[in-house]
Amino acid sequence: MPIAVDIDVMLAKRKMSVGELAERVGITPANLAVLKNGRAKAVRFSTLAALCEVLECQPGDLLRWETDRAVDPTVL
């Protein structure tokens, strides 16, 4: 999937466990693990906002787009 999830990076920066984040956000640790491991098909804006509030970050700190095709510089 071209959307990469960097929740684990922010957890490490904040020295916070998955369990603590799940509790503070109000979701189950299992659902947070699905999101964190990139297996989620969608995320609610309210969940994303809660994650950003607890982790004191921006949505772009948690999600980033990755291309899954090689770019040919001669085509540009």
Residues 5-36: b if buried by 16+ CB within 10 A, e if exposed: bbbeebbeeeeeeeeebbeebebeeeebebbb
Question: pLDDT for 1-59, tens place per residue?
Answer: 689 999 999 999 999 999 999 999 999 999 999 999 989 999 999 999 999 999 999 99
Question: pLDDT for 12-28, tens place per residue?
Answer: 999 999 999 999 999 99
